[in-house]
Structure 1
């Protein structure tokens, strides 16, 4: 499914515009992308899910097609969650929606669920990128990558970031459309520097009463698995799946298994 075949829509909410693509009818499935991505990231999920659901994939504030080119205080987990709650109210007409967040997008999705539980029908967290409160800080790649971007060494900077979050050699193996998307969003990393020590409060997350699906890649870096372990232990109404033959970008590496996990999960719930 070429990215140019994804129809783009725009809606205006408060002080920003939300660019998104959508397909299908039925219960809304809202897809929240992670770092360096945008709505094009979900190109292999939309055709599979849209025959049964209204699948809506937005680009978060500051990402392509209006990507920030410098550090911007409007770029934050809290702001993105606030934006997406307003967007969910708009597209769902105040009815609850299924929310899926990947990597940094899982942090946005979790914040949405905690701040606006009445708008959440189910919550899927795929390889969450957030640190859990009490978990030791780990060295951040953001500062080094930001320095490379400032020097115009975009390819090297993006290679270091992608390989850090996915595993060594990932950038070299990425297909052309993915590299184009990442380059379009390269300078959003300058705003993410302020997020490197953010963590989630498990006590707050324990208040959630929605059906929750935790998804991990079989070959993802160990830190993602440890966070899924902690969430699985702490939260109620949780199920968990591991996507075989896939690392952090599991929805692209093994879309068949990833999509089936979603179909099975959503299928356990009847329409309100």
Structure 2
């Protein structure tokens, strides 16, 4: 593990693979995760690319107490931009999963000069009325579930809150089925959910999607339920020239469930 000082914060990251060759692939994790979440694909991806897997502000290895207002989509976008600038390696390839996919989308929107290619694995977020005819203003039902989970965590019931979160995302009974290492990773980042429910995350608009101009790949799990597939396919339909790949028999954590297939899709896209 290394750190890079950006925006007054020491951002932790893993740097794996060859330093010569294609531009590095910077990987941004999603909610309740950190750089360790990419462990199942680091091996196959790093055979051809240098991987730089970051942990966002307030995630492991930091032990955050949930206080203050320095956890937000805006802050994390600013941090990723500053991180790429500080690397000073020229345009990079950028890959994000879930909430990390939303962050990478906003980085691409704001600073396309920093990126060569963009990979979005089921980016998290909501669609506004320009993209969704069924749009309704106000908090989404999923945010209400996440808020309830955060309240349990804030009250000291960490496992109860995480179980509630995972049930909302992957369906009832998900938490007991997780292996111990996956549960510990979630526990290590549980408090970040308190910050996330205060995100005030802006919804995606048609203009946002049309602003993405670099080669873009969307990846999804064919069995993912809820809003995530709708967001993925809607954005893909409005990002000019984008590609979409769906992984059979996989849900939202598709790169953990099918690491070899996920890696093949990513490597083929980066080489095209």
Normalization by structure 2: what TM-score?
0.91
Q: Is the 8 A contact 2:102 2:124 kept in 1?
A: yes
> How far 1:44 moved relative to its partner?
1.0
1:118-267 aligned within 5 A = 118-134=113-129, 135-136=135-136, 137-139=139-141, 140-195=144-199, 198-267=202-271
SS of the residue 1:86 aligns to: helix
- Show structure 2 runs of 5+ residues with no match: 130-134
Quote the offset at 1:109 in angstroms. Answer: 0.3
RMSD (Å), alpha carbons = 1.4
Deviation at 1:86, TM superposition (A): 1.1
The alignment of Structure 1 onto Structure 2 pairs a total of residues equal to 260
Is 1:47–2:43 an aligned residue pair? Answer: yes
User: Contact 1:13–1:86 at 8 Å: present in 2 too?
Assistant: yes
Kindly state the Cα deviation for residue 178 of structure 1 after the two structures are TM-superposed: 1.1
TM-score using structure 1 length: 0.91
* Superposition map of 1:63-82 within 5 A: 63-82=59-78
- Match 1:105 to one of 94, 97, 100: 100
Name the SS for the 1:208 alignment partner: coil
**Match among 5, 18, 43 for residue 12 of structure 1:** 5
Is contact 1:94–1:119 with CA below 8 Å preserved after alignment? no
CA displacement 1:31-66 (0-9 Å, x = unmatched)? 100000000000011111111111000100010111
Contact 1:166/1:249 (8 A) holds in 2 = no
SS in 1 for 2:198: helix
Distance 1:51 1:197, change over 3 A: closer
Structure 1 residues 148-198: Cα deviation after superposition (integer angstroms, max 9, x where no partner): 113211111101101211222222211111111100000111111113663
Question: Deviations along 1:81-104, whole A, 9 cap, x unmatched?
Answer: 11111111222x251111111000
